[in-house]
Amino acid sequence: MKFICTLITVSDINRSRDFYEHVLNQQVTADFGTNVTYRGDFSIHLASGFKQLIDNREIQQGGNNFELYFEYDDVEGMAGTLKEKGISFVHEVREQPWRQRVMRIYDPDMHIIEIGESMEYLILRLHNEGMAPEQVTAATKLPLEFVKSVIGKAGK
Q: Is residue 140 assigned to a domain?
A: yes
Q: pLDDT digit string (tens) for 45-73?
A: 999 999 999 999 988 888 888 899 999 99
For 49-64, the DSSP string reads: HHHHHTTT-------S
Tell me the CB-side half-sphere exposure of residue 140, using CA atoms within 13 A.
Answer: 27
Cα distances (angstroms) measured from residue 60 to each of 63, 75, 114 = 7, 29, 20
User: What are the backbone dihedrals phi and psi of residue 103, each rounded to the nearest 5 degrees, phi first?
Assistant: -140, 160
Q: Is residue 71 assigned to a domain?
A: no
Q: Is residue 128 assigned to a domain?
A: yes
Consecutive H or E run containing 102 = strand 101-106
Q: Is residue 64 assigned to a domain?
A: no
For 6-24, the DSSP string reads: EEEEES-HHHHHHIIIIIS
Q: Is residue 70 assigned to a domain?
A: no
> Which of 36, 56, 76 corresponds to the end of one domain?
56
Based on DSSP, count helices (H) and strands (E) in the chain, helices before strands. 6, 8
Report pLDDT for 156. 61
Taking the alpha carbons at both ends of the chain, their separation in whole angstroms is 40
Provide, rounded to the nearest whole percent, the portion of the chain with pLDDT above 90.
88
Q: Is residue 4 assigned to a domain?
A: yes
CA distance 71 to 74: 9
Q: Is residue 91 assigned to a domain?
A: no
Mean pLDDT within 137-156: 92
Q: Is residue 110 assigned to a domain?
A: no
> Which of 10, 37, 56 corresponds to the end of one domain?
56
Structural domain including 146 reads: 120-154
What is the CATH classification number for the domain harbouring 36? 3.10.180.10
Report pLDDT for 81. 96
Number of structural domains (the chain) is: 2
